[in-house]
Structure 1
Amino acid sequence: MTVALRDGRRSATSWCRRHTIGGDGAVAAARRGQRSGEATGTLSRDQELELIETLRGAYPDQLGLDDELWTRQSVAALAQRRYDLPADADMSGYLRAWGLGPRQPTDRACGLCVDSVATWVEQEYPAIVRSALEHRADVWWIGRTRLHGVVPAADVLSAISARGRVRFQIATPNVDPPLPRDFLLRLSGAEGRTLHVVVDGSWTRTEWPRRLPPRIVLHPLPSCGR
């Protein structure tokens, strides 16, 4: 329980921040001291952009992969198939560069809501954890970030579990799209796993999907509405 609460505090603070992703090409390779396309297992900038375009608005199972939402493993499988990367090629650096990882974002925390989020984590979140344990449910934190450095710009819907698992979707261009029902259903999986989902301030309550199955329970994270 202590670990879950600690993870919850980090996730709550994380999702209370608005952050951007993207940048000049093959950021992950550059962070390893490599130039784009020079090392085995890295993508050129053109390949990176092409991969993002392939992911945009698509689900893995639509491209012949097993996952219902994108993961590090499914992105790696797609990149290996399209660009003849080695089987041990790791996409973790690219996902981190795109802002998709179980870590604290580097942007400034929103001072208007961080205190209320911390209080919520202390007073409300433990009951969610207890209910999840009682019903053998998964706990996820879900939010939306903006993918920059590509044209057209796109929102990235990202779900991070209390155990650090990441599931995401790069949305098709839209203006402030509502929280997609299909994303939550796919997060629950074909087997219909029970979920407790903490939703950040990316969407108002009126933008939440209606008539969700009872197995998917949404919890609003305190937000200043920014």
Structure 2
Amino acid sequence: GIAERLRADYGVPCEVIVASGDPAATVLDTAERANCDLVITPYETEDGALSPYIRTVLSGPVDAIVHRSTGTTDWRRVMVPIARPGDTAHAMVDFASRLAGDDGRVSVCTCIDADGSRRAAEHRLSNVVETFDGPVETRVARAEITTYIEENAGAYDLVMLGSSGERSTASRLISPPTFKRLKEVDCDVAVVDRGDVGR
């Protein structure tokens, strides 16, 4: 089954649970009972906004990854745009490195405006990636982040973004106009939320 395939492909313990009831509450309860530290779920909307299921998972205590798939299951080239160093940035690079594997490539990038200091941005990125052994490169671009992602995503299998811990749950994942623009990119998009760590 799927649990065995995930265990074999990624080396992570995985169990399949069938339960009835509210899907989000069931997922969060199961994650707590199983001492699970990560919930991965497909991206879904309802009436142009995040579905109630996604909102509940994102407001829960467990780290979550919301994934918009193009159908690929091999993520060897992963772009990780970050705004600032911190727990979420480290988690994203960690998840990306695991997905890319030893033969993959992770590109950690940040965008600065015309007044931004390239040297300071490079220093921030080097602080984020210094603890990782795998093939991780850093990039600093003078561009708006969504435009940068749109222009470069074709070279990647996955773009991994962080949710905003400073905003309300309703807007945490990513602002709808931004996500709508990213629907046009030709790769998978995953958004990482650090659960209670980010609040």
TM-score above 0.5: no
Answer 1 or 2: which has greater strand percent. 2
Mark the structure with the bigger radius of gyration.
Answer: 1
Provide the TM-score with structure 2 as the length reference: 0.29
